[in-house]
Structure 1
Amino acid sequence: MSAYEEQVWKDLNEHWERRNNRRGLPNWASNALGRTGEVAGNAGRRVKDAVPEGVKEPIRRAGGALADAALRPAVAGAVALLDLVNEAALELNDPKTVEKIARKKGLDIDSFTELREQDLKVCDRLLARNTMKWRATGALEGGAMGALAMVPVAGIPAAMTADILVVQVLSTSIASRIAYSYGYDAKDPDEQRFIQRLVHQSFMAQATKAEPLNRTAQAAQALKGRVNWSDKLRTDHKLAAALEKLLQHLSPAGSKVSVKSVAKVVPFVGIVISAGLNSAVLGRVASEAQKYCQTRFLCEKYGLPLPAALTVDQDDAPEDDTP
């Protein structure tokens, strides 16, 4: 191994040891993969038409029906983002894109599979700042969908449907691009098995934000047009009551926080919830996929055994599918 590869191998072993101690990567899927596999699998198989018109059309209709012009940018932004996802998915799933990048960096290769003959450092350079990039993308996508969830006509159903599909398509595509960058064919069954675990994990993570987003949207609707506070309003919408108390601490002593002031803040809570989670999900997909490919690359190149966290048979995984 080169000095670079030795250091990466050391770091990878430490990473997988930590993973193995708190339930290894293969257990992400467990038997729940079969229960939600249709959603995850369809995202990968339909990557050519990543976000179908059936998802985008209801959002477009919502934009046309909105009476509040201030909310229309949220809908327009969401639709534009979905169109960009389609373009990104096509590029990320095309190995020829990786070959072009490699040639621009001075590598004389005819096929991406030849990357497996290079030093690990060469492949890593093809993915410079990759995790940071996808964290930023996740925040952008999540923020747009969080804003969409606050729109009365489109609301939570349209936002969550689009959001789940977008993140799953991007998860599949990110993992595919990373596999190609280390010389592995993302269409190979072994690679697909790992990729679908990543997609399933993103699905489970996204499901956790549906309830807080729903509560946030309900609070936004309840506050709209209100002038005065009431005990019922505070009891029914604890988020609004909590924001009232928070703003009270930030206001001059003795002043009162108006309903209108809280109503302006509530939509940003939905945006923060969605942006933060999606940033973490896509960042983790990018990081874990790269570590997995780096590990396989070094193991196969130097005849090393896979770390224990990567040798657990999926059939032996427990029912619990908590990440």
Structure 2
Amino acid sequence: MTSSEATTDRPRMSPYEAKAWTELDEFWQRKASRRSLPPKAEQAKDAAVARIKEAATATRGYISAVTPQPVKDIGGIVIDRALEPTAEAALGLIEWVTETVQEFSDPEAIYAHHRDQGRPVASLTDLRELDLEDLDEVTRGFVWRCRTTGVVEGAALGLITFVPIAGSVAAIGLDLIIMHALSTAIATRAAHAYGLDPAGDAGRNHLDRMIRKAWTAQAPKAGTVKGARDAFVEGAGRVRWSDKFRNDHRIAAAVEKLLKQVSNGQHIPIEKVVAKMPAIAVVTSAGINGTVLGSLAKTSVRYSQTIHLAQKHNLALPPNLT
């Protein structure tokens, strides 16, 4: 770091921070080099994101009230006794996700960690004075935890979609709302970990970018889960295939084709394909949600590290962050 990069009243960059800054610069260069969407695709994505965000504008605190009540209070409709364990298990997982959202939104656990290490931390301002190496302690394992949370949440909502009650289709919309809350909470935790205020300009801009990124991946997943559920419902009780069923439920037709390929062209009973629809929904929802939240957590940590170092040492931000 040259003398022009820092003023005399700023702390000198430690070797750990200097190495991290180089790695962060390379990270953002790779991000900037990726090809952007064509203009028409970008416009379509923006329109879809805007519609989804209109349906879930609250980003903090509300999730404990919203989540799991829409599923628990289904207007008095009784769940079949055989499915009660499935519903209870899924609801338990969602409640765990709810607790995670609230934990990630509160910086007190971060302050407590540093106080346990002998650092006098009581506010975000205190965190800004610490070395990056100390701050990184809080986010070790963070990406893995976020990815796991996404897998759990996606699997739970994918499972609830197949419980034959009035609210089952609404589980798809509930998944979008919970993902919105999780995305916001993850970006908020990453900001807090490095002394940034999520409500400030830098924090708010990043939150908007991360939520937009998370929503971009939701539409294909929602379509697949709904398609699998529709095939499951329409295929229940059927004993033979029909051209109309195959045309109406492309997911079931694709699974039938795949099973024929691995069984050397043998006839595949429709009930065998229909029975696999819940697994497809669960795997799809869990896989995409885990990938989205893991990627979001990684980018949020990198962003917060970059802003922390740039502000602490008066460094210029990478071009794609200005």
TM-score (norm 1): 0.83
Deviations 1:167-186 (A, max 9, x none): 11111111111111111122
**What SS does the aligned partner of 1:43 have?**
coil
Report 1:133-144 matches (<5 A). 133-144=145-156
Shift of 1:80: 2.6
**What SS does the aligned partner of 1:73 have?**
helix
In structure 2, the partner of 1:289 is: 300
Is residue 309 from structure 1 mapped to residue 320 from structure 2 by the alignment? yes
In structure 1, the partner of 2:107 is: 95
Confirm or deny: 8 A CA contact 1:63 1:72 kept in the other structure. no
Q: Which amino acid aligns with 2:156?
A: A
In structure 1, the partner of 2:65 is: 52
Is residue 199 from structure 1 mapped to residue 217 from structure 2 by the alignment? no
**Structure 1 pair 281–241 and aligned structure 2 pair: CA distance change class (3 A):** same
- Whole-Å separation in 2 of the counterparts to 1:277 and 1:63: 30
**Which piece of structure 1 moves more, 186-195 or 174-183?**
186-195
Q: Which amino acid aligns with 1:231?
A: D
Q: Which structure would you say has the larger RCO, counting Cα contacts within 8 Å and 6 or more residues apart?
A: 1
Confirm or deny: 8 A CA contact 1:148 1:159 kept in the other structure. yes
**What SS does the aligned partner of 2:93 have?**
helix
Report 1:113-192 matches (<5 A). 113-154=125-166, 157-192=169-204
In structure 2, the partner of 1:320 is: none
**What SS does the aligned partner of 2:196 have?**
coil
Confirm or deny: 8 A CA contact 2:71 2:167 kept in the other structure. no
TM-score (norm 2): 0.83
Confirm or deny: 8 A CA contact 1:227 1:258 kept in the other structure. yes
Is residue 213 from structure 1 mapped to residue 254 from structure 2 by the alignment? no
> Which of the numbers 311, 314, 317 marks the counterpart of 1:300?
311
In structure 2, the partner of 1:316 is: none
Shift of 1:133: 0.9
Confirm or deny: 8 A CA contact 1:123 1:181 kept in the other structure. yes
**Which piece of structure 1 moves more, 89-98 or 151-160?**
151-160
Confirm or deny: 8 A CA contact 1:115 1:183 kept in the other structure. yes
- Whole-Å separation in 1 of the counterparts to 2:166 and 2:114: 43
Shift of 1:107: 2.5
In structure 1, the partner of 2:269 is: 258
Confirm or deny: 8 A CA contact 1:50 1:169 kept in the other structure. yes
- Whole-Å separation in 2 of the counterparts to 1:154 and 1:20: 45
Deviations 1:259-302 (A, max 9, x none): 22212211111111111111111112211111111111111122
Confirm or deny: 8 A CA contact 1:36 1:200 kept in the other structure. no
**Which piece of structure 1 moves more, 9-18 or 84-93?**
84-93
- Whole-Å separation in 2 of the counterparts to 1:235 and 1:37: 33
**Which piece of structure 1 moves more, 191-200 or 287-296?**
191-200
**What SS does the aligned partner of 2:211 have?**
helix
Confirm or deny: 8 A CA contact 1:43 1:165 kept in the other structure. no
Identity across matched positions, percent: 37
> Which of the numbers 228, 234, 259 marks the counterpart of 1:247?
259
**Structure 1 pair 37–265 and aligned structure 2 pair: CA distance change class (3 A):** closer
Shift of 1:243: 1.3
In structure 2, the partner of 1:268 is: 279
Structure 2, unpaired ranges of 5+: 1-12
Higher helix share: 1
Shift of 1:66: 5.1
**What SS does the aligned partner of 1:131 have?**
helix
Deviations 1:83-137 (A, max 9, x none): 3333222222222111012223343323342121122111111111111111111
In structure 2, the partner of 1:43 is: 58
**What SS does the aligned partner of 1:52 have?**
helix
**Structure 1 pair 43–23 and aligned structure 2 pair: CA distance change class (3 A):** farther
- Whole-Å separation in 1 of the counterparts to 2:79 and 2:110: 46
Q: Which amino acid aligns with 2:26?
A: E
**Structure 1 pair 214–37 and aligned structure 2 pair: CA distance change class (3 A):** closer
- Whole-Å separation in 2 of the counterparts to 1:226 and 1:66: 25
**Structure 1 pair 62–256 and aligned structure 2 pair: CA distance change class (3 A):** farther
Q: Which amino acid aligns with 1:49?
A: Y
- Whole-Å separation in 1 of the counterparts to 2:70 and 2:113: 37
- Whole-Å separation in 2 of the counterparts to 1:209 and 1:222: 20
Deviations 1:10-37 (A, max 9, x none): 221122112223368xx99997576655
